[in-house]
Structure 1
Amino acid sequence: MRARRLLNVAIGMTVAVLLAACTTNGPTPSPTPTPREALRIGALVPTSGTFSFLGRGQIAGAKLAIADINAAGGVGGKPVELELRDSGDATTTTAEASLKFLVSKHVNAVVGPSSSVLAKRLIPQVVDAGVPLVSPAATFPSLTDAQDHGLFFRTVPAYGAQGTVLGDVLSKKAPIKMALIYSNDELGRSIAPAFESEAESAGSTVVASVGFPAAETRFDSIIAEAIKSKPDVVVLATSYSSFTATKGLIKGLIASGFGGSKLWLTTQNTGDYSQAFKNGTLTGVRGIIEGVHPSDSFVKRLKSVAPGLAETRYAAETYDAVVLLALAASVSDGYSGPALSSALQSVSAGGIKCSTFAECIDVHNSQGDFDYDGLSGPLDFTAQGDIEPAFYGLYTYGPDNKFKYTSGVIGG
């Protein structure tokens, strides 16, 4: 991993204006601190395009965070302001236009986007503007090493980190034999090393690790290679963009005796298959998704902001991104990009644990350093802006071929 390079810009310098005394025997006036403007946070949320179903929940998460922050006194004694814009999807340039608009409105930081592709495209624009970007959902491994000048962060783990979690979870009861089938792309190649390393360190054996090209349409030989050494479990690591391959591999693996709990899906293919297979096909199949499963109390609060809200995925991660930025602004010497970026690391790790904006500010005022662990779990930023460890939800498929939350685990 590269060392995170912060911009060499002087931050937060308060210029004291020295007032000349009218007489030599009068008291010297105290310097007057330069008042800060209100902290302004922009948010890029998908209200159109492929991932628009996620937008309303993320908007609710951001608005709820702002309400909680302002109820606790805001930042610098002023209410924090929120500016929302559509991020669209990767088929448009909506995200670029929206970020340009937010920068023109002088936002101090931006939450979003949900797409890894869009995050990669926006980083050069973010660097030019000198504004931190905190994504609640971008998982591409390559974002770890992006030339972001220390300005990109995310409140979800990188895709490959789930390999470590799966290797550990599958070995909990006893060492077993495992096989991995993965798409031979950036995502698939990132999960394989972590999965193999953690499985073996836990005493299990990865008997097959089979990559296949994204354009592949024939899966018999791939499945045969994966199961020839008779694994106890097969892990399938494919992505949203390869639905045809995912469906074909699931069908073939189940037909070969690897259905139910013998088949594990990963974060980008654990989805709703109710329209893809006949009822009962995926019963008992397991899955993993990065991020927290929202609590009933948090969902209730989200619905107070967005009545009738159905999709809450990444709402907690969005909430935490806003809170982290507000906490960083509260302890930094200013709202510049480098000041906020430096403070984001310090407020996320290494101090006294706290779980709300108000609680963390109380700790800061009374005891000093604090460590915000939010609704989405521990949020310790690395030097590259990733979080390690992270929370993952474990899911089980029912007879309707839909996945339901079973339990959660922290790892990676």
Structure 2
Amino acid sequence: MLFKQPRAVYAVAFACVVSFMGIGLVDPILPALSAKLDATPSQVSLLFTSYLLVTAVAMLFTGWVASRIGAKPTLITGLALIVVFAALAGLSGSINGIVGFRAGWGLGNALFIATSLAVIVASATGGFAGAIVLYEAALGLGIAAGPLIGGLLGDVSWRGPFFGVSVLMAIALLATVVFVEPVPKPARPTPLLAPIKALRHRSLLTMGVTALLYNWGFFTMLGYAPYPMELNEIQLGFVFFAWGLLLAFFSITGAPWLQRRFGTAPSLYGALSVFAVLLLLIGLFTDVRGVVIGCVIASGVVAGINNTLTTQAVMLVSPVERPVASAAYGFVRFIGGGLAPYAAGRMVEHGSMHVPFVVGAAVVLAGVAVLTTGHHALAAADARLAAGDGHGRPGDVAGEMADEFGGAPDAIDFQKETSPKEPAR
């Protein structure tokens, strides 16, 4: 099933791998950028901030765009923007220029991710099962490979990772144009303000705020932990490669097992609390390289568990259509991810290197407190999941995987596949 797919599926899956690589691609070159462009760590951290904040805001509009022009044109537009802005970042000679081009990259990434799963689902053989296996494989490979590729290319030049993404995405763009067939538009276009209005629902807002606070800690680690490690680009690449492998493995295998064994809420309480402890250890032992490296790699376990369980919970507790819930949730949570790396740099400049990690641990624990206010909704969602013989509907599965990076397939009407025993929410 995995190796017997149309060429269109492989074209989009390859683009997904490259797109997901972009998340951790710049980690190994952060210290090099700081040294070679005479920039402070807080200035360099704006590579994350501009990318993620633009992605967050763009999440509010991608559904509106894709539901009107179609999935394939949206996909092509997103890929083209990534090609152009990644190349411009590599050509730039200043940190401000790179930050600006990363913002354009974030816009392209939002457009691409919001529609990639829809195209895979529409084109794959073997139904949803085959589509989700492919999407999971692309997600895991991209997350794990990004830092390693970034480290290898960054060892040649700090411009290498940017040019590498541009070339790979250009190949994916060409393959998409040639092999991908147009995907039907949804019967009902998505209203422009639908994601904002969806945040009026308490269950969705609770999950969004929890994810915002978690992402504050997550991107504090991702954006600032490379500095106290004092490793070269290749060494940093391997550290985050190990982290990415654990994240991918436990998001696919560990999270479902914990959900079945303990339930969503208890599993999330545990994952978030362990992550807070790891951040606190980094904050207390920032000067001990082995502790920092070990905690960063170990955080891949709880990050993978948290990502999958949180996104699944959002799809289950949300009372609005899944693409709308995904856009609203992505908007809220990426705000935390965008602001945290820059704030970490400023804390170091006005305090010490220990401060951002300790603050990050406290913020993640605050996320646990917020999550407890939605315990009843999560328990009810688990009960509904169990009532369906332990399996979510196709819409649940596709929604949770797409929402992993901020989008859900707008071109598919999941409500049509709702079973008679479970009314559409």
Normalized per residue, the structure richer in strand is 1
TM-score if structure 1 supplies the norm length? 0.27
Q: Which has the higher contact order (CA 8 A, sep 6+)?
A: 2
Normalized per residue, the structure richer in helix is 2
